[in-house]
Amino acid sequence: MLKFKLARLRGPSIAETGLDLKLSATEVEPPSLEQPKSDKVALPGSFQATLKGRLKLLAPVLISVILSMVGQLILKRGMSDLGPVSFTTRSLPEIIWSIATDPFIIVGMVIYAVSVLYWLVGLSRVPLSYAYPFISLSYVLILGASFFLLGEHLSLLRIGGVLVICLGVLLVAFSNPSDNTNHTKGEGVKP
């Protein structure tokens, strides 16, 4: 009974979606010359199904990244209110009490904990090697939020580094997440 309930809660895995996430030139339909009847972008049939399938699989991972970023910003606000912290034996209890009672730090930790739950849901759906590079999107989001919300300075070197990260995430996003769907113990990469 418990196993059935857990199976219902966990959502689809790559294999359960029934989608073939591999794109080949023979599967892609040429775009229609007619105007779309809705506000949605007209995509070739199999690509649209693939995009929907990937978004469905990646939604928990992306939600985790966004919540993690929000949690980090709130934690930064709380720690900025406390001022510079250094661990010495005399001040350790006072620092722990200040951190444990600061409302920004408490809220930031709760949001961060929720992001971990979404991350675990995402890991149950896609291979770690596919999901993990999406964590680097938090670098991009934090960089933008630090500039716009915290007024931090951005150098060209930082911006260039973030662009390289974005390129890497795009390459991973367009790779096939079902290349490694063996989630059982002892089965790794096959030669």
| pLDDT 10s digits, 120-162 | 999 998 888 888 888 888 888 888 888 888 888 889 998 898 8
> pTM for the complete prediction?
0.63
Token pair of 76 as six digits = 């930064």
Q: Secondary structure of 54-89 in the HEC alphabet?
A: HHHHHHHHHHHHHHHHHHHHHHHHHHHHHCCCCCCC
Provide the pLDDT for residue 75: 93
| pLDDT 10s digits, 151-161 | 888 899 988 98
Name the residue with higher pLDDT: 45 or 16.
16
90-105 mean pLDDT: 88
Q: Secondary structure of 102-142 in the HEC alphabet?
A: CHHHHHHHHHHHHHHHHHHHHHHHCCHHHHHHHHHHHHHHH
Name the residue with higher pLDDT: 55 or 6.
55
Q: What is the rounded CA–CA span in Å between residue 78 and residue 183?
A: 39
Confidence band, pLDDT 50/70/90 cuts, at residue 101? very high
DSSP single-letter state for residue 30: P
72: Cβ–Cβ under 8 A, 6 or more apart, which residues?
A: 108, 112, 138, 142
What is the residue-averaged pLDDT of the chain? Answer: 75
